[in-house]
Amino acid sequence: MKILTGIQSSGKLHIGNYFGAIKPMVDLQKDNELFTFIADYHALTTSKDSNEFRENTQEAVLDYLSLGIDINKTTFFLQSDVPQLMELYFILSKFTPMGLLERSHSYKDKKDKGIPASHALFSYPVLMAADILMFGTEIVPVGKDQKQHLEIAREIAKKFNNEYGNTFIVPDYIISEDTSIIPGINGQKMSKSYGNTIDIFLSEKELTKRCNKIITSTVEMGQPLDYEKSVIYQLSALFLDDNKRLELQDRYLSGKEGYGSLKGYLKDLIFTEFEEAREKKEFYKDNMDIVKDILSDGRKKAQSVANEKMIEVRHKIGLGIFSWIMFLAMEH
């Protein structure tokens, strides 16, 4: 099955990114054909500094490679290395009703956070549709907040297919209910734009400080703690199996521990989970030629698929005097 996943290169990865996108990707690559990309075009919607943007893109590449991507099983590439995506993005905009975009929750939320209401931000779902439809994607793992964007991509694919014949696979999506909304240190959804993240590659000292900032309720010593409403528990549970979760629940209900101790426990879970990833990241930092070769291979594979799809699309809509000849050649 063809599966696509990507993440914006808009800053340091946090544990919400990991459980919402990266871990599912690592699990899915075992038995599926995976396309994984760094969404640097998307990240441009909020970028204001080119140097910072380049650094963020490099960090995202290193992070993905360090956190378990298998380049032998996954086509890994930069979104901007496949310029055909921008052509498809424009073509698909013809099949995107304004009302469909105006109902986008994500656009409204980002405007409310003070992000400038640019066309790039408004048409974000159309570029996301191009990402998905270009590679024949059958399944897209998404967080709950991205479900609407997948529904938009489905609508665009259907409208194109109805007008020009069966061209795009209408993609489906999977949502992990356990990790659909991962809270940040203030209890809201973990997000860079909220400034409430816990980054994956923090030093142990920095991680301790970050965990200590998690907002908690006031409870008298000796009283049981409500694990169901505890951000500390919700984050800790992501790293635990069922038995370990039950043990942690008992610790909350015992009245023998305060939140300070439980924050230390969460810090240990996070730091231990990503120990191997930190070592891999240092290796890739010291061997950037290997990273460049990986991206070069991914670019070639992704462009090959994109070229074939765009020959078909251009032929279907009547663009290019040679599209018809090339399409016939592909058919035979």
Range of 260's domain? 202-273
229 and 316 in a single domain? The answer is: no
What pLDDT score does 122 carry? 81
Q: Give the C-alpha distances (Å, rounded to integers) separating 83 from 64, 90, 132, 299.
A: 22, 12, 14, 10
Q: What is the pLDDT of residues 124-157, one digit of tens each?
A: 899 999 999 999 999 998 877 778 889 999 999 9
Q: Do 141 and 102 meet the contact criterion of CB atoms below 8 Å apart?
A: no
For residue 279, being part of any structural domain is answered with no
268 and 295 in a single domain? The answer is: no
| CATH code of 269's domain | 1.10.240.10
Q: Do 126 and 96 meet the contact criterion of CB atoms below 8 Å apart?
A: yes
Structure tokens belonging to residue 150 = 């997948």
Q: Report the distance separating Cα 151 and Cα 136, nearest Å.
A: 16
Structure tokens belonging to residue 281 = 């990241």
What pLDDT score does 166 carry? 96
Chain-wide mean pLDDT for the chain?
90
Q: Report the distance separating Cα 16 and Cα 198, nearest Å.
A: 8
More confident residue, 201 or 21: 201
Structure tokens belonging to residue 58 = 């490099």
More confident residue, 314 or 9: 314
228 and 294 in a single domain? The answer is: no
- Residue by residue, what is the 3-state secondary structure of 205-242? HHHHHHHHCCCCCCCCCCCCCCHHHCHHHHHHHCCCCH
Q: Report the distance separating Cα 118 and Cα 116, nearest Å.
A: 6
For residue 278, being part of any structural domain is answered with no
Q: Give the C-alpha distances (Å, rounded to integers) separating 131 from 24, 170, 200, 203.
A: 18, 13, 26, 34
For the chain, report the end-to-end CA distance as a whole number of angstroms. Answer: 24
Q: Report the distance separating Cα 25 and Cα 141, nearest Å.
A: 8
- What is the domain count for the chain? 2
For residue 127, being part of any structural domain is answered with yes
